[in-house]
């Protein structure tokens, strides 16, 4: 009996994923055989869904999402993994406990609050320091996303490092390894999977995050010229326009198509992660 329930719980995940995909696809798909120009969809950066005739090009949004994600990861990965190493290896015990509490608090801040910080604090700071034309841009969005994903990376990364048996550290010490050598040659290879999972969770958050990013990046259509240009991300486009476009119209359906694109991106990232992790495991067994 209990075994059946537990089994059902496990299988339900698959059901949910396919269910979500099915419903998003069902809403978006009719526009595919209703004359949507797929070439324009994937190659044009002109997003003008209420023009006559409407133009649906999502290159601008794809570039927006990718640029914000890449820049935020460039900031967050070193900080996140660095903090994880510090917490698990170098930090005195009392300090670690209080630091962990603060970091968990950081992870609990709602994204709308981050968006508010982006607009009110980071925005003016960026214009003052860089002379950017407006405070809402790729850099602002990336900084906010970095701040949002660091806590997750730290918690998961620290757990991964903690899971490495102490015998590894002791053996390395006995061989005369320095602290840095222990971290880079012993702990990182041993905790590779967990650390990769930490980074990917961060990437997932960066791609999927909507509210804070939409407040920080400024919603500008087209291709950004520099890191200080405003952009529009895939998620922010859906959030800003779905509630206000007539149901069943091409514009509405195309927004669901964007949802499918996001789905595919997430799927590819997870798949890559799986392959990479398997690859690492394979090498270890050789």
Partner 1 sequence: MRFFGLRAAVLALAVVTVTFSACNSSKGTANKPGEPASAAPSEPAVETAGIKITGSDTMVNLAAAWQEAYKKNNPDVALQVSGGGSGVGIAALCSGTIDIATSSRPLKDAEREKAKINTGKTPVEFKVGLDALAIYVNKDNPIETISIPELAGIYGEGGTIDKWQDLGVDNKACPSGNIVRYSRQNSSGTYQYFKEAVIGEKGSYKDGAIQQGGSSDVVGAVTKNPCAIGYSGMGYRTPEVKLVPVSKEKGQPGVAPSSETALDGTYPISRPLFLYTLGEPEGNVKAFIDWCMGAEGQAVVEEVGYVANPKK
Return the closest-CA partner of residue 234 out of 42, 73, 103, 81. 42
Q: Which of 122, 136, 212, 261 binds partner 1 (CB under 8 A)?
A: 136
Pick from 151, 194, 222, 250 the residue near partner 1 by CB under 8 A: 222
Q: How far is the CB of 119 from partner 1 (least distance, A)?
A: 10
Residue 216 CA to residue 135 CA, distance in Å, equals 8
Report the distance separating Cα 191 and Cα 229, nearest Å. 38
Given 28, 218, 250, 259, the residue binding partner 1 (CB under 8 A): 218
**Do 49 and 60 meet the contact criterion of CB atoms below 8 Å apart?**
no
Chosen residue from 247, 282, 285, 286 binding partner 1 by CB under 8 A = 247
Retrieve residue 241's tokens.
């326009």
User: Shortest distance, CB of residue 236 to partner 1, whole angstroms?
Assistant: 10
Q: Segment near partner 1 (CB under 8 A), from 5-13, 26-34, 62-70, 214-222?
A: 214-222
Per-residue mark of binding to partner 1, 60-79 (x: CB under 8 A): x-------------------
First to last CA, the chain: 42
CA angle 51, 52, 58 (to 5 degrees): 45
DSSP per residue over 111-163, as a string? HHHHHHHIIIIIHHHHHHHH--S-S-SHHHHHHHHHHHHHHHHHHHHHHHHHT
Q: How many residues bind partner 1 (CB under 8 A)?
A: 32
Per-residue b/e over 9-27, b at no fewer than 16 CB within 10 Å?
A: eeeeeeeeeeeeeeebeeb
CB within 8 Å of 43: residues ≥ 6 apart: 57, 59
Should residue 269 be labelled a site residue for partner 1 when binding is judged by CB under 8 A?
Answer: no
Determine if 163 is a binding residue for partner 1 (CB under 8 A): no
- Candidate list 24, 29, 32, 49; residue touching partner 1; CB under 8 A: 49
- 223 counts as binding partner 1 under rule CB under 8 A: yes
Considering the rule CB under 8 A, would residue 55 count as an interface residue with partner 1?
yes
Per DSSP, the three-state class of 70 is helix
Binding residue for partner 1, selected from 142, 241, 255, 256, defined by CB under 8 A: 241
d(CA 99, CA 107): 12
Among 133, 170, 279, 281, binds partner 1 (CB under 8 A): 133
Pick the binder of partner 1 from 245, 260, 266, 280 (CB under 8 A).
Answer: 245
Question: Is residue 111 part of the contact set for partner 1 (CB under 8 A)?
Answer: no
Distance in Å, CB of 115 to partner 1, minimum = 12
Distances (CA, A) of 210 to 69, 129, 221, 224: 12, 26, 16, 19
Residues that bind partner 1 (CB under 8 A): 45-46, 48-52, 55, 60, 124, 127, 131, 133-134, 136, 218-223, 225, 229-230, 232, 240-241, 243-247
């Amino acid at each position: 009996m209990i075994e059946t329930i537990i089994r059902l719980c496990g299988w339900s995940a698959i059901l949910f994923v396919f269910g979500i995909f099915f419903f998003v696809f069902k809403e978006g798909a009719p526009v595919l055989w209703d004359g949507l120009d797929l070439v324009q969809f994937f190659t044009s950066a002109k997003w003008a869904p209420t023009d006559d005739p409407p133009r649906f090009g999502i290159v601008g949004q794809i570039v927006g999402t990718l640029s914000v994600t890449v820049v935020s990861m460039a900031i967050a990965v070193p900080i996140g993994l660095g903090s994880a190493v510090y917490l698990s290896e170098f930090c005195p015990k009392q300090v670690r406990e209080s630091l962990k509490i603060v970091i968990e608090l950081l992870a609990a801040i709602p994204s709308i609050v981050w968006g508010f910080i982006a607009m009110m604090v980071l925005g003016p700071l960026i214009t003052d320091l860089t002379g950017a034309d407006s405070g809402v841009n790729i850099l602002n969005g990336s900084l906010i996303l970095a701040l949002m994903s660091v806590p997750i990376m730290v918690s998961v990364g620290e757990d991964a490092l903690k899971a490495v048996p102490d015998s590894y550290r002791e053996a390395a010490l006995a061989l005369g390894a320095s602290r840095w050598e222990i971290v880079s040659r012993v702990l990182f290879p041993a905790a590779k999977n967990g650390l990769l999972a930490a980074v990917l969770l961060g990437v997932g958050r960066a791609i999927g995050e909507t509210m804070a990013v939409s407040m920080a990046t400024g919603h500008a259509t087209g291709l950004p010229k520099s890191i200080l240009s405003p952009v529009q991300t895939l998620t922010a486009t859906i959030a800003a326009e779905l509630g206000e476009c007539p149901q069943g119209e091409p514009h509405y359906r195309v927004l669901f198509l964007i949802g499918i694109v996001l789905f595919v991106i997430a799927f590819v990232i997870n798949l890559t992660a799986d392959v990479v992790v398997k690859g690492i495991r394979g090498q270890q067994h050789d």
